[in-house]
Structure 1
Amino acid sequence: MKRIARPRIRSSSVERLLRHAVRHWHAPDGWRAIELLQRRGSPAMVATITRLCASPRARRRAVGLSIAAQLMRKEHGEWTLYAEAQTQQLLLAGLSDPHQEVVRAAVGGLGHRPHAASVQALLRLSTHVDPRMRWQVAVALGSYEEPEAIEGLIRLAADPSDEVRDWATFGLGTLRSDDTPEIREALRTNLNDPDLDVRGEALVGLARRRDDGIVDLLIERLTPECHVYELDAAEALSDPRLAATLRAVESASSEGTDAYWLSRLRDAMEACSASEPHEHHERIVAAVKNAFEET
C-alpha cells in the first residue's frame, strides 16, 4: 500500500515550530511555521521572542523579529495585535543589528507595526545598496503617516529596481491620500515607466486624486487588451468623457474575456456614465468602436 505523505510540520509545539522556522528560513515551510507562531500571542511567547532576539545567531534573531512583526491573539472571535509596544521595541532595536538579514526582518516588522521613532532609520536604509532592503523599506513606508515618509517614497519611486518603484508608487498613489505637487509629479513621471505595474500604479494614483490631465492618456489606453489598472483608474476618475470609450471596449470584448476583468470594466462604466450627457450617445460609441476595428 502506498504511504500517504505527512505534512512536514508534524507538531504544533512551540519548540518544534521554532526549530522548523530556523531550519527552513526563507522557505515556504519555514514561513508557515512563523505564521503559526504569530498566532500564539501570550506572555510566554513574548519571552520566547525576546530570547530569540538576543541570540548570538543571526537567523534566530531574524526569526524572532519575524514572529514579533505580526504577533496576535484571538479575543472574542477576532484576531488582534498582541504586545504591540513590546514588539515594537524589539523591532526598533533590530534596525541596529550588524546582520543585514536581521535588519530586513526589523524593517518588514515595522511596516506591520509602524513606530515614528523608526522613520529616520528607514529613510537612511532607502538608499541601501541591496535592492531587497530598499524594497522592504518601500513596503514599510507605505504604512507611515509621517510627512517624511513621503520623501522616502518619492525617492524610491525613481529607484533602479522595478519592484522597488512598483511598491513605492503604490505607496504614494494608493496607500496615501496626501495630494501634493511633489506626489503628483512623481506619479506623472512614472506614467511612462518601462515597467507595466509601475505605469499602472501611477495611473491609478493620479486618478484617485481626480487629475483630469490623464483623461486623454486613459482614452488611449482603454482598449479590449488593457489591464485592470486602466479600468480601476477610470472608475476612480469617474469622468463622463471616458464613458463612450468604456462602452466601446465592452462591445469589442470577446466571449472568453476574464470575468473579473469584465466586472471591473462594468464598474468603471457605471462610475463614468452617472453624469454623462446623453445627446449623440450612439454616434460617439459607434465612432470609438470603428476606431478599434480599424486598428
Structure 2
Amino acid sequence: MKRLARNRLKSFSVDRLLRHALRHWHADDGWRAVQALHVRGSPQLLATITALCTSLRARRRAVGLAIAGQLMHKVQGQLAMYAEAETHQLLLHGLSDPHHDVVRAAVAGLGHRPHAASVEALLRLSASPDSQMRWQVAVALGSYEEPEAIEGLIRLATDPSAEVRDWATFGLGSLRMDDTPAIRAALRRNLDDPDIDVRGEALVGLARRRDEGIVERLIGLLTPECHMYELDAAEALADPRLVEPLQALSQATPRSWNAVWQARLDEALATCASQSVPVATERSSAS
C-alpha cells in the first residue's frame, strides 16, 4: 500500500503536492509529498517556496524550507541542484526563525547543501536542549569541511542521546577521512560506548584510518554473534592477522545469517587474505 501511495503522489501536480505536504506535514505522507517536490525545481516552484518561507504561519515556512533544502531539476536527464544561491539564502534566514520546526527544517536543508556561513549557528544549536535538534545538527555537520564542524562533531559524539552520538561518530569516522589525534581519541573513547551502533561506528572509523590498535579487539569481536560493523571494519583494516578469525567465522556460519551478511564476510576475508605475503615470495625477495 505504501508503494502505491508513493506512485500516486508522483502523478500529482505541484499545487496538489503542496497542499498534501501542508496538510500532512507531521506524517510520512506529507514528507513523501515534499520528496516528490524536490525533483520539480522550476522558477514557479522557487517563487512559491519563497512565498511560503515568508508566511506568517510556521508550518508553511517549515514546508517551504524542507523543499528548498533539496530542490533539484533535470539537466540532460540527470538530477542537479537547482537555485543553490536562492535556497541558501532561504535556509540561512530560517536558522533565526522563532519557531522550532522551522529551524529544524533549515538545519536539515543545510546538511544537504552546506554553506560556511551557517557553521556558527549550527554549533550554537548543537547545545539545544532538544535531542532531535542536536541529532539534526549532527547529521548536517557531517557534510561540512570546516575545522569547527569537526570540533562540533567531537562534542556531539559524547551527547547524552545515543542517536546523536551514533550520527556524530558516523560523521567523524565514515563521512570524512580527516585523521587527527582528536578524532582518533573521540573514536577510541566511543569503542566502549553502551550503545552498539556507536561502538560499531567508532570501530569502523578507526579501521578506515588503519589504526592497528584495534586489531586485538576486532579479533575478539569476530564471533558468530558479531554484526556488520565488525565485518566492515575488518575489510577496511585489511590486516592479515584477521584472516584466521574470519576463516573460523566463515566455517561457523549459522543458517540464520543471510546472503548479504555472508557476502560481506567473504569480502572482508578476501581483502585481508590479499595482504598476506607467501613465504616463498618473502624468501625470493630477500635473496
* TM-score using structure 1 length: 0.90
User: In the alignment, which residue of structure 1 is the partner of 2:85?
Assistant: 85
Q: 1:59 to 1:6 in 2, by over 3 A?
A: closer
**Residue deviations 1:137-192 (CA, integer Å, cap 9, x gap):** 00000000111100000000000001000000000000011000000000000001
Alpha-carbon shift at residue 277 of structure 1 (Å) = 4.9
Alpha-carbon shift at residue 38 of structure 1 (Å) = 1.2
User: In the alignment, which residue of structure 1 is the partner of 2:267?
Assistant: 267
Q: Unaligned stretches of 5+ in structure 1?
A: 280-295
More divergent stretch after superposition (195-204 vs 29-38): 29-38
Are positions 1:217 and 2:231 aligned together? no
Q: 1:81 to 1:9 in 2, by over 3 A?
A: closer
User: In the alignment, which residue of structure 2 is the partner of 1:60?
Assistant: 60
Q: 1:177 to 1:10 in 2, by over 3 A?
A: closer
What secondary structure, in the 3-state scheme, does the structure 1 residue paired with 2:160 have? coil
Alpha-carbon shift at residue 278 of structure 1 (Å) = 5.4
User: In the alignment, which residue of structure 2 is the partner of 1:152?
Assistant: 152
Moved over 6 A (4+): 4-8
User: In the alignment, which residue of structure 2 is the partner of 1:244?
Assistant: 244
**Cα distance in structure 2, aligned partners of 1:111 and 1:9:** 25
Alpha-carbon shift at residue 15 of structure 1 (Å) = 2.0
8 Å CA contact 1:53, 1:65 repeated in 2: yes
Aligned residues between the structures:
276
**Cα distance in structure 1, aligned partners of 2:105 and 2:116:** 17
8 Å CA contact 2:38, 2:67 repeated in 1: yes
Are positions 1:107 and 2:130 aligned together? no
User: In the alignment, which residue of structure 1 is the partner of 2:284?
Assistant: none
Name the aligned partner's letter for residue 274 of structure 2.
Answer: A
Alpha-carbon shift at residue 18 of structure 1 (Å) = 1.1
Name the aligned partner's letter for residue 99 of structure 2.
Answer: H
**Cα distance in structure 1, aligned partners of 2:10 and 2:204:** 45
Alpha-carbon shift at residue 131 of structure 1 (Å) = 0.2
User: In the alignment, which residue of structure 2 is the partner of 1:172?
Assistant: 172
Q: Unaligned stretches of 5+ in structure 2?
A: 280-287
Name the aligned partner's letter for residue 35 of structure 1.
Answer: Q
Name the aligned partner's letter for residue 208 of structure 1.
Answer: R
What secondary structure, in the 3-state scheme, does the structure 1 residue paired with 2:247 have? helix
**Residue deviations 1:108-158 (CA, integer Å, cap 9, x gap):** 000001000000000000010000000000000000011110000000000
8 Å CA contact 2:10, 2:36 repeated in 1: no
User: In the alignment, which residue of structure 2 is the partner of 1:44?
Assistant: 44
What secondary structure, in the 3-state scheme, does the structure 1 residue paired with 2:174 have? helix
What secondary structure, in the 3-state scheme, does the structure 1 residue paired with 2:41 have? coil
Alpha-carbon shift at residue 8 of structure 1 (Å) = 7.5
Alpha-carbon shift at residue 28 of structure 1 (Å) = 1.2
**Cα distance in structure 2, aligned partners of 1:53 and 1:170:** 32
**Cα distance in structure 1, aligned partners of 2:6 and 2:170:** 40
Name the aligned partner's letter for residue 194 of structure 2.
Answer: P
User: In the alignment, which residue of structure 1 is the partner of 2:227?
Assistant: 227
Q: 1:277 to 1:160 in 2, by over 3 A?
A: same
Alpha-carbon shift at residue 269 of structure 1 (Å) = 0.3
8 Å CA contact 1:66, 1:105 repeated in 2: yes
8 Å CA contact 1:173, 1:204 repeated in 2: yes
Name the aligned partner's letter for residue 73 of structure 1.
Answer: H
Identity percentage of aligned residues: 70
User: In the alignment, which residue of structure 2 is the partner of 1:285?
Assistant: none
Name the aligned partner's letter for residue 219 of structure 2.
Answer: I
Aligned residues: CA RMSD: 1.8
User: In the alignment, which residue of structure 1 is the partner of 2:95?
Assistant: 95
* TM-score using structure 2 length: 0.93
**Cα distance in structure 1, aligned partners of 2:95 and 2:254:** 52
Q: 1:10 to 1:248 in 2, by over 3 A?
A: closer
User: In the alignment, which residue of structure 2 is the partner of 1:28?
Assistant: 28
What secondary structure, in the 3-state scheme, does the structure 2 residue paired with 1:175 have? coil
1:197-208 → structure 2 map (5 Å cutoff):
197-208=197-208
User: In the alignment, which residue of structure 1 is the partner of 2:254?
Assistant: 254
Alpha-carbon shift at residue 13 of structure 1 (Å) = 2.2
User: In the alignment, which residue of structure 2 is the partner of 1:288?
Assistant: none
